[in-house]
Structure 1
Amino acid sequence: MTRWLVTGAGGQLGSDLVDLLQRSGAEVVGLARAELDITDADAVLAACERFHPDVVINAAAYTAVDAAESDPATAFAVNAEGAGHVAAATAKLGARLVHVSTDYVFAGDATSPYDEEAPVAPRSVYGRSKAAGERAVLEAHPGAYVVRTAWVYGAVGQNFVKTMARLEREKETVTVVDDQRGSPTWSRDLADALITLARSDAPPGVYHCTNAGETTWFGFARAIFEELGADPTRVRPTTTAAFPRPAPRPAYSVLGHRRWQQAGLPAMRPWRDALRAAFAFCGPALRGDPTGA
C-alpha cells in the first residue's frame, strides 16, 4: 500500500488531503505546523525517515500575504527554505513529491490565462517567496510536481467565502473589488486533483490546477450571497484603488491548464458548480456556524 505524508495538515488544503486519503483507505500521516516545522531541515528529514512515505504532499505554507510585506524573513523561511527542506528529504528517500504553489508568482498583468511556462514576475514578498520555493523544490527534487493554484477556499481556516458570509450577516451592503480576475477553487476539489496527479504517470514539472472558468471577486461574492440565500444585489462593485493593501494584488490571476490537459488528467469542474457543491458538503462551516460542518 502506498504511504502518504501530508505537511501543513491542519490547514485548509491539508485537512482535505488527509480526509480524502483516509476515506480512500490509504495509509496517510498528516503533520500540522505544531507537529512539523518545515523550516527545521533536521526535523523534516527525521519525519520522512520515521514514516518512510512513498508520496509527500507539501501543503505547508506562510500565506499571510499582507503580513509578509513586513516579515519577509519568515515568509522566505517557510515558503522557500522550508519547501527546499521538504524536497531534499523527499528526494533522499526516493519518494514522490507534490508541492503546492500560487498564482502570486506572476505579475498579474496578463489578459489571457497564464501558461505553465510563462515567466514568473512576482510583485509581493509572498509571491517572491513562493517563486523561490518553486526553484528550491525543482533543484532539490527534479522529479517533483509543482502545482500552482489560486483563490482557494474551504471548510477549515479563514477565507473569502467565510468573510462574505460574515459580512452578509453584519451589513446591509458589501463592496467588493471588480477589477481583479481569477478562478475560485474549492480546496476539496484541489485536494482530489493533487492526489490524482500523485497517483498518475504524468511527467514531473510545473502544473496549474484551479476550478474551471473565471470571475472577479465581485462576481464571486455575488455567487456566495446566492448560496447563502441572500440578495446578490447587496454586493456592490468597487476598485482595487479604493481598498489599498500592504501587498499588491494581481489584477489577473487566471491560470491556464495546458500541461494538465496534455497529461490526460481529469479537468476540474467549473468554479460555480464547485461553490454549490462546497455549500452542499460543508455549508455550516462556510457560513461560520460554530456547530461545524
Structure 2
Amino acid sequence: MLKIWIAGSAGQIGTAINEVLDPLEMEVFNTDKDELDITQTDEVLSFGEINRPDVIINCAGITDMDLCEKEPELAYRVNALGARNLSIVARKIGAKIVHISTDDVFDGNKNTPYSEFDDTNPKTVYGRSKRAGENYVREFTHKHFVIRSSWIFGHGDNFVTRVLRKAGNGELIEAAIDETGCPTSAKDLARIILYLITTNEYGTYHATCKGLCSRYDFAREILSLAGLHAEVKEISIADSKEHLVRPAYAVLDNFILRIIDVYEMPKWKQSLEEYIAEWKEETHE
C-alpha cells in the first residue's frame, strides 16, 4: 500500500485528492497548518522520519495575493521555505515529492500559451515566492513533480464559489473580458497527481483543463450551468482591483503531457459541469 503525506490537506487540492483516491490502495497522512507547520524544519523532518511516506504532496501555500504583497516574509516562509523543508525530508527518506505551483510564475505578457520551457518572470510576491519554492524542490530532490495549474475551482473560496454566492445574493458580478486563463477543476488536478506519482516521469508539468476563456465568459458559463440569473458586468482587467496582482494572460500549454502522451486533461466546460452538478446536490440536500 502506497503511503502518501498530503501537506495542506484542508485546501482545495488536498480536499480533492482525498475525495478521488482509493483508500484501499493508499494510506494517507493528512496535515494542515493546525497539525503541522511546514515552515518549522525540525517538525517536518520529525514527521517525515516517523511516518516515512512514499510520496509527499505539497498542497500548502499562501495563495491570497493581497496578503502576499502586504506580508512578503510570510509568503516566502510558507511558499518557499515550506517547500524546501518538505524537499529536504523527501530526499532524506527517499520519497517522491509533488509540488503544486501556479501560472503566476509567468508575467502574463504573452498572447500565446506558456509551455514548461518558457522563462519564468513573476511580477508579484506570490509568483516570486512560488518560483522560489519550485527552485528549492528541484535543488533538493530529483524524484519530483512540479505541477503548475491555473484558475482552480473546488471546495473552498474561488472564482466559481464567489460567482455563485453573489448570484444567490442578487449582487452585481464584475468580470474582466480581457483576462484569459484555463479554468481547472481541483478534482481533475487531483486525478493527474495520483496518476503521476505511480510513474517515474519526473519533472515540471503544466496541468490545466483543455480550452481557455475570459473571466467574463467563465462567469456566464457558471451561471448558465447553475441555472441562476444575475447581472454580469463586462469590465477591463485595468479596472479590476486585481489588475496589479493578476496576469492578464494566464494560459498554460500542457506541452509535456502532450508530447509524452501519458495523460489527457478534460475540457474545462465538462469539468465545470461536473462541479456544478455536485454543488446543486449539496445545496438541495
TM-score scaled by length of structure 1 = 0.93
Partner residue, 1:168:
167
Query: Residue 222 of structure 1: which of 220, 223, 237 is its match?
Result: 220
Q: CA contact under 8 A between 1:69 and 1:247: conserved in structure 2?
A: no
How many Å separate the matches in 2 of 1:258 and 1:132?
22
Moved over 6 A (4+): none
How many Å separate the matches in 1 of 2:141 and 2:279?
36
Deviation at 1:265, TM superposition (A): 2.2
For 1:270, the aligned partner's letter is K
How many Å separate the matches in 1 of 2:51 and 2:184?
30
Q: CA contact under 8 A between 1:66 and 1:246: conserved in structure 2?
A: no
Deviation at 1:264, TM superposition (A): 2.5
For 1:169, the aligned partner's letter is G
Structure 2 counterpart SS, 1:199: coil
Task: Name the Cα RMSD after superposition.
Answer: 1.7
Cα distance change, pair 51–22 in 1 and its aligned pair in 2 (3 A): farther
Within-5 A mapping of 1:46-125: 46-125=46-125
Deviation at 1:277, TM superposition (A): 0.7
Partner residue, 1:278:
275
Moved more, 139-148 or 126-135: 139-148
Cα distance change, pair 230–282 in 1 and its aligned pair in 2 (3 A): closer
List gaps (5 residues or longer) in structure 1: none
How many Å separate the matches in 1 of 2:93 and 2:243?
40
Partner residue, 1:180:
179
Partner residue, 2:263:
266
How many Å separate the matches in 2 of 1:86 and 1:242?
39
Residue 257 of structure 1 pairs with residue 254 of structure 2 = yes
Cα distance change, pair 158–172 in 1 and its aligned pair in 2 (3 A): closer
Query: Residue 207 of structure 1: which of 205, 208, 211 is its match?
Result: 205
For 2:181, the aligned partner's letter is G
How many Å separate the matches in 2 of 1:177 and 1:263?
35
List gaps (5 residues or longer) in structure 2: none
Within-5 A mapping of 1:24-43: 25-43=25-43
Deviation at 1:178, TM superposition (A): 1.1
How many Å separate the matches in 1 of 2:256 and 2:43?
34
Cα distance change, pair 172–11 in 1 and its aligned pair in 2 (3 A): closer
How many Å separate the matches in 2 of 1:196 and 1:173?
40
Deviation at 1:135, TM superposition (A): 0.5
Percent identity of equivalent pairs? 35
Structure 2 counterpart SS, 1:18: helix
Structure 1 counterpart SS, 2:29: strand
Partner residue, 1:144:
144
1:39-59 deviation line (CA, Å, top 9, x unaligned):
011111111112111111111
For 1:77, the aligned partner's letter is R
Q: CA contact under 8 A between 1:103 and 1:149: conserved in structure 2?
A: yes
For 2:173, the aligned partner's letter is V
Q: CA contact under 8 A between 1:21 and 1:28: conserved in structure 2?
A: no
Cα distance change, pair 169–282 in 1 and its aligned pair in 2 (3 A): closer
Deviation at 1:284, TM superposition (A): 5.2
Deviation at 1:246, TM superposition (A): 7.8
Q: CA contact under 8 A between 2:219 and 2:232: conserved in structure 1?
A: yes
Q: CA contact under 8 A between 1:69 and 1:246: conserved in structure 2?
A: no
How many Å separate the matches in 1 of 2:185 and 2:72?
28
Structure 2 counterpart SS, 1:175: strand
Structure 2 counterpart SS, 1:250: coil
Structure 1 counterpart SS, 2:98: strand
Q: CA contact under 8 A between 2:2 and 2:25: conserved in structure 1?
A: no
How many Å separate the matches in 1 of 2:31 and 2:233?
41
Partner residue, 1:7:
7
Q: CA contact under 8 A between 1:99 and 1:145: conserved in structure 2?
A: yes
Partner residue, 1:131:
131
